[in-house]
Structure 1
Amino acid sequence: MSATIAGLLTGLVLGLAAAFGGFGAFLVVAVLGGLGLLVGRVLDGKLDLSQFTDRERR
C-alpha cells in the first residue's frame, strides 16, 4: 500500500470518527480525506511543495 492510499484512508477514518452523521460530517470527511491524500502524495514524492516553501525567492 502506498503512502498516498494510507494517507487517504487515514484522513477518511479520522473524519468519520470526528464527525459521525449528517451533511456536515460529509464535508468534514471530504476535507480530511483530501488533506490525507495530499500528505500521502507528498510522502510518496508525487507532489513537490518546494515552490511554496522556498526561502530564496527572486
Structure 2
Amino acid sequence: MSSATTGVLIGAVLALTAIILGFWAFVFVAIAMAIGWAAGRVASGDLDLRSLAESLRGRRSS
C-alpha cells in the first residue's frame, strides 16, 4: 500500500469519525492512531525512544 493510499484511508477514518461521532471522538481517534503508529515503529525498531528523548532535551543534536 502506498503512502498516498494510507493517507487517504486515515483521512477517511478521521472524517467519518468527526461526522458521525463528533469532535471529541475525532480527537480521541486521532490520538489513538498516533499512539498506535508510534508503538508500531518502536516494535519494529524504526523509532528509538531513548535517542528521541535525548534529542528533545537537547543532549544530542542528531
2:4 aligns with none
Which structure dedicates a bigger proportion of its chain to helix?
2
In the aligned structure 2, how far is the partner of 1:29 from the partner of 1:35?
Answer: 10
> Alignment identity in percent?
39
For residues 11-49 of structure 1, give each alpha carbon's deviation from its aligned partner in whole angstroms, at most 9, with x where no partner exists.
x8xxx7xxx711110000000100000000000100001
Structure 1 stretches of at least 4 aligned residues deviating more than 6 Å after TM superposition = none
Structure 2, unaligned runs of 5 or more: 1-12, 55-62
Structure 1, unaligned runs of 5 or more: 1-11, 54-58
In the aligned structure 2, how far is the partner of 1:22 from the partner of 1:45?
Answer: 35
Mapping 1:22-41, distance limit 5 Å: 22-41=22-41
Q: How many residues align?
A: 37
In the aligned structure 2, how far is the partner of 1:27 from the partner of 1:42?
Answer: 23
Aligned CA RMSD, in angstroms, stands at 2.7
Q: Which has the higher contact order (CA 8 A, sep 6+)?
A: 1
What TM-score, normalized to structure 2?
Answer: 0.49
1:48 aligns with 48
Letter in 2 for 1:28: F
